[in-house]
C-alpha cells in the first residue's frame, strides 16, 4: 500500500543546508494501522508531509496504492492527494462554517454535486458519531468532537490512506482513547490504511501492530509494537519505554507519556 524508498529531505537555512530525513525506507501494508514514533524534531512531521507530497523530497520515492506520487505534478498530484486524508493535532477547522460545512468543504472543492455531498456528509457524520451536530459551529464543540469533525472531513472524499499527525496530543487521556477506538472502527469498516505519527507510547500500544522509531531524521528501529515494548533494540526506543514505565501509577495502569 505505502512503500517509501531511500527518501531524503533537507531545508536551506541561513547556516546552510539542514537534513530533515535521511535514507527513509518503510513498507506499510494495506489495511494496517502503522505507528511512527519519535521525539520533537526527530522528523515525524516532515515524513508525513512527504507521504502526501505537501513536501517535495530531495530524492527517493513514495508509492501509494501502486502510484509513485513523487513523480506526479499538477492535476495528477491533486487527484492523488484526494486519496490521502489527513487529520491534525490542532483540528484546523473552519470556524465560520458549521460541522456540515466543514465536512462538505473538500467535496465541494472536488466537484461533487449537492446531492452527493449531502449524502456523503450524512453518512460520514453518522460513522463518527456526530449526526446530531450537523448545524453546530466548531466553537460549540469539545476537543474530542472537533477531532471527530476533522476525521470526518479527512474521510469525506473516501481516501485509501489516512494520515494522523499527532491527532490525539491536544486531548485528555479519556478522549484520546475514544478517538483511537474510533480510528480502529474506521479501519475495520473501511479497510483503511492508517499511519499514526505520535510521541506517545500508549497510542502505539493501544492501536498499532507495527511501528517505526525515528530519531535525527533516520529510522532507527522498525517492527512489531510488542517488540518495541519488550525487546527494544535502539537507544531511542529504550528511552521511550523506560520513561513510559516510569510513569506507571501505583496500581500498575499505564499512563500516556508525552516526550517533547
CA distance linking residue 125 with residue 132, whole number of Å:
9
Please, is 95 exposed, middle or buried when counting C-beta atoms within 10 Å of its C-beta (0-12, 13-18, 19+)?
Answer: exposed
Cell of 248: 506507571
What is the residue extent of each domain of the chain?
A: 1-83+161-174+189-260, 94-158
Cell of 126: 453518522
Q: pLDDT (tens digit, 0 to 9) for every residue of the chain, 260 residues total?
A: 899 999 999 999 998 899 999 999 999 999 999 999 998 889 999 999 999 999 999 999 999 988 999 999 999 998 898 899 999 888 889 999 999 999 999 999 989 999 999 999 999 999 999 999 999 999 999 999 999 999 999 999 999 999 999 888 888 889 999 999 999 999 999 999 999 999 888 889 899 999 999 999 999 999 999 999 889 888 888 888 886 775 554 345 544 443 43
Q: Sign of torsion, CA 192 175 147 217?
A: negative
Cell of 201: 507510547
Q: Other CB atoms closer than 10 Å to residue 65's CB: what's the count?
A: 15
CATH architecture label of 1-83+161-174+189-260: 3-Layer(aba) Sandwich (3.40)
Q: What is the per-residue DSSP string for 196-229?
A: EEESBHHHHHHH-SEEEEEETTEEEEEEEHHHHH
CA distance linking residue 160 with residue 71, whole number of Å:
19
CA distance linking residue 101 with residue 133, whole number of Å:
11
What are phi and psi for residue 149, nearest 5 degrees? Answer: -65, -45
CA distance linking residue 121 with residue 125, whole number of Å:
6
Amino acid at each position: 500500500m505505502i512503500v517509501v524508498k531511500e527518501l531524503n529531505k533537507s531545508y536551506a537555512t541561513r547556516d546552510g543546508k539542514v537534513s530533515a530525513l535521511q535514507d527513509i525506507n518503510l513498507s506499510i501494508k494495506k489495511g494496517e494501522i502503522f505507528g511512527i514514533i519519535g521525539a520533537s524534531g526527530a522528523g515525524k512531521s516532515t515524513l508525513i508531509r512527504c507521504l502526501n507530497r505537501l513536501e517535495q523530497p530531495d530524492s527517493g520515492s513514495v508509492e501509494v496504492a501502486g502510484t509513485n506520487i513523487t513523480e506526479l505534478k499538477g492535476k495528477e498530484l491533486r487527484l492523488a492527494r484526494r486519496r490521502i486524508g489527513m487529520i491534525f493535532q490542532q483540528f484546523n477547522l473552519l470556524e465560520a462554517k458549521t460541522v456540515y460545512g466543514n465536512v462538505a468543504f473538500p467535496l465541494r472543492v472536488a466537484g461533487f454535486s449537492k446531492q452527493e455531498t449531502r449524502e456523503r456528509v450524512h453518512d460520514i457524520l453518522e460513522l463518527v458519531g456526530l449526526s446530531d451536530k450537523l448545524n453546530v459551529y466548531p466553537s460549540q464543540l469539545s476537543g474530542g468532537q472537533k477531532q471527530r469533525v476533522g476525521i470526518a472531513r479527512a474521510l469525506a472524499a473516501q481516501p485509501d490512506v489516512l494520515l494522523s499527525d499527532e491527532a490525539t496530543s491536544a486531548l485528555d487521556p479519556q478522549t484520546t482513547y475514544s478517538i483511537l477506538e474510533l480510528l480502529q472502527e474506521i479501519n475495520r469498516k473501511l479497510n483503511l490504511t492508517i499511519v499514526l505519527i505520535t510521541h506517545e507510547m500508549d497510542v502505539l500500544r493501544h492501536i498499532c501492530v507495527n511501528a517505526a522509531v525515528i530519531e535525527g531524521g533516520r529510522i532507527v528501529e522498525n517492527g512489531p509494537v510488542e517488540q518495541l515494548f519488550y525487546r527494544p533494540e535502539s537507544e531511542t526506543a529504550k528511552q521511550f519505554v523506560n520513561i513510559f514505565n516510569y510513569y506507571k501509577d501505583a496500581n500498575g495502569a499505564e499512563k500516556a507519556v508525552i516526550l517533547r
